[in-house]
Structure 1
Amino acid sequence: MSYRSWCLALGLCLINGPLLAIERAWPITEGMDVVGELSHAEAAYEDTLIDVARRHQVGFEAIRRANPEVNTWIPGEGTRILLPHKFILPDARRQDIVVNLPEMRLYYFPRDESRVMSYPVSIGRMDWGTPVGTLDVIEKRENPSWTPPDSVRKAYAERGEELPRVVPPGPDNPMGDYAIRLSRPSYLIHGTNWSTGIGMRSTHGCIRMDNDDIGELYSRVSLGTSVNIVNQPIKVGWRKGLLYLEAHPPLEELEDDAKGMDEAVAKVMDAVGERDARVDWSRVRSALNEVSGVPQVVGWEADQPLTTSTSATSSARAEPPAADP
């Protein structure tokens, strides 16, 4: 078996080429809800989709959802891959850190600056969920050691694996080079010794970042920084007269809180407000069905020039569709 085949069999990925410097800080102005731009990359001969995601600083699930027709393990040389670098900002106070769990993405709003920075993250598995709510940064530590909670050591023991009581800094430490402890002390934002796993539900509740990303964030945040963790599988927002909707699969343990079309209608109507706007409800349904995580144009202001992005066969005033039977 070749080295590549061995890695794929183990679910590992090979990173071909250096990481690229990706733009991830965007100015935000009054009334702007959407930042970034979509772009494309071509897969190289030995690439997996995870290679492309890692190289372009996109989370694993995010790149899979944006490219549902692409084979994860063998995209094929020259395959055109959509890079989902366009985001609707979460419906939350634009200050300090906001983490949207279904999106598996962290947003950082530097104080006294009209801009936002964004990074893919990993979050807790279903049985070790990352908590929703507003916490604060209470400690920052470089080269942290890891003291596994008793619950984690017990889970490992049940699988026949033994965890030491303390894992020292180094390549075997899953916390990476930086750790930011939150006001629920067992939860942290930290680095990793497995960067290819970014953008998955793979932690014991912590928020895990690529080592380069956590290094950048670590240098900017201070004690007392707020961390608002939200659950928003559906986001809606405006940019340049266009109304966008972005849909992500709801977290399994929070599916009862997901309202689907009802939630989308409420958010669209709230975003439209008193504007003279048009909404294409078929596009809303399509975005909800696709759950691609890519912002889709679903409406526009009445004076917006019609283009390929806004013209539609079934547009209407911003009035919700009749309820499903």
Structure 2
Amino acid sequence: MHSCVFGLLAMLVSTMGTAATFTLPTDDSTLVGEVRVVTPTPDNTLLDLMRHFDLGYTEITSANPGMSVWTPGPGARVVIPTRFILPPKPWEGIVVNIPQRRMFYFPPAKKGKAAEVITYPIGIAREGWSTPLGLSRVTGKFRDPGWFVPKTIRDEHRAEEGVEMPAYFPPGPDNPMGMLAMRTAWPGIFLHATNRPWGVGMRVSHGCMHLYPEDAAELFAQLKIGTPFRVINQPVLVGDAEGKTWMSSFDPVAEYPGEPTPAEWAERLLDQRTLDAALAGQPFDPERKQRLLDAPTALPVALNDSSVDPGAVLSAMPAEAYDLPPYGAGANDASLPAPKQPPADEAAANP
């Protein structure tokens, strides 16, 4: 891609404002963001909402159990789970949590400015193609990559689909690598854009991590070679905010032998906190914890007995109207989507 074209793409991304960027807490808090509720127009799907609010498929479906992905329904109250428990420290470079299907980028703090975290949803590896765990680093950045498809992937595609897969994908909107790719020190493992953005948040890759094209463009522009890159496998997260202990849970990824179960993670993370909460007269609700383990959800839930019921909080939350146009089937490739425009009557009222 020519530099002038890439500059135009970067400007488009800056106007779309999809990324979740937060100031890092300076107290003992470990949660950022806020949950929202929206009511979409009938032509919008959960896929449209998840992309607009920079969420993955599992995040938005777990926050809205039983709701149709394609037709949320007239007057639907769609929960937007844009509150996040931060990963365990150190908060530096990139941290990817595989079960959460989300990455966190902690850029170097700018002089005189507060430290920030930027977070994006990702598509993760399908069964049998696990991403390595542990420490790595960013070793390369590539615009308009081509992709020589490994024989193992071509063989798998032939066995599953009954057709041959091309041995090479040239740069372009149909390239599974997308238009931007960031290489790690692990052989063959990239963090890259995708030609199937509706798959972000699903198990779709062969070890790489997939980003929305617009997220890849934003990250690519600021990520430096040598940035630390840490991958963890933690299906339960526990954090602190507002004097309460919060927990969120995610479907475990079974391909990592010897890793703790979600219940073991919860016991490990809550052991001392359970005692401290009881001594403070705010004991945890064991049923609330068990519900999170039985029905994983990206929504952080306060465990303290004195906390208001999370369902009641969501029911009382006013819903915002979401009337932007759908992305459309044509947006499901590696190209950046067109910037969203308000409805014609709203635009006329605000020239």
CA distance in 2: counterparts of 1:289 and 1:69, whole angstroms: 16
> Of 17, 21, 25, which residue of structure 2 is paired with 1:21?
17
Amino acid aligned to 2:246:
Y
State the match for 1:200 in structure 2: 202
**C-alpha deviation, 1:22, in angstroms:** 4.1
SS of residue in 2 equivalent to 1:108: strand
Q: Match of 2:99?
A: 102
2:173 and 2:179 in contact (8 A); partners too: no
**Residue in 2 that maps onto 1:157:** 158
Shift of 1:214: 0.7
CA contact (8 A) 1:36 1:85 kept: yes
Fraction of identical pairs, as percent: 32
Task: Say which is worse superposed, 245-254 or 197-206, in terms of deviation.
Answer: 245-254
Partner secondary structure for residue 79 of structure 1: coil
* One-letter code aligned to 1:31: D
**Aligned equivalent of 1:280, options 285, 298, 313:** 285
| Partner Cα separation in structure 2 for residue 139 and residue 254 of structure 1 | 27
Q: Distance in 2 between matches of 1:145 and 1:80?
A: 42
1:299 counterpart SS class: coil
The residue number in structure 1 matching 2:337 is: none
Q: Give, in angstroms, the shift of residue 20 of structure 1.
A: 6.1
1:36–1:20 CA distance, 2 compared to 1 (3 A): same
What is the CA-CA distance between 1:309 and the residue it aligns to? 6.0
Instruction: State the alpha-carbon separation in 1 of the partners of residues 273 and 88 from structure 2.
Output: 11
Structure scoring higher RCO (CA < 8 A, sep ≥ 6) equals 2
Distance (Å, rounded) in 1 between the aligned partners of 2:257 and 2:63: 21
Unaligned stretches of 5+ in structure 2?
1-14, 311-351
Give 1:45 deviation, angstroms: 1.2
Instruction: Give 1:43's match in structure 2, choosing from 40, 44, 58.
Output: 40
Aligned to 1:314: none
Give the Cα–Cα distance (whole angstroms) in 2 for the partners of residues 164 and 181 of structure 1: 22
Indicate the residue corresponding to 2:222 in structure 1: 220
Deviates more, 1:179-188 or 1:157-166: 157-166
Q: Distance in 1 between matches of 2:227 and 2:235?
A: 24
User: Aligned-pair RMSD on alpha carbons?
Assistant: 2.2
Q: Note if contact 1:250-1:258 (Cα within 8 Å) is conserved in structure 2.
A: no
Cα deviations across residues 205-229 of structure 1 (Å, max 9, x unaligned)? 1000001101111111111111111
CA 1:23–1:182 in 2, change beyond 3 Å: closer, same or farther? closer
Q: How many residues align?
A: 287
- Whether contact under 8 Å (1:243, 1:297) holds in the other structure is yes
Q: Which amino acid aligns with 1:211?
A: P
Post-superposition Cα deviations, 1:236-274, rounded to whole Å, max 9, x if no partner, equal 010121110111111133486343334312211244676
Cα distance in structure 2, aligned partners of 1:114 and 1:253: 35
Q: 2:124 aligns to what? A: 123
In the alignment, residue 77 of structure 1 is paired with which amino acid?
P
Give the Cα–Cα distance (whole angstroms) in 2 for the partners of residues 163 and 72 of structure 1.
29
Matched position secondary structure for 2:70: coil
Separation in 2, partners of 1:64, 1:105: 15
TM-score by length of 1: 0.82
- Match for residue 174 of structure 1? 176
2:212 maps to which residue? 210
| Paired residues of 2:50 and 2:57 also in contact (CA < 8 A) | yes
Match of 1:77?
A: 74
The structure whose residues are more often helix, as a share, is 2
Q: Please tell me the residue identity of whatever aligns with 2:57.
A: F
Partners of 2:293 and 2:157 lie apart in 1 by 38
Shift of 1:115: 1.5
Does the 8 Å contact 1:46/1:77 carry over to 2? no
Partner SS for 2:195: coil
Residue 308 (structure 1) aligned with residue 308 (structure 2): yes
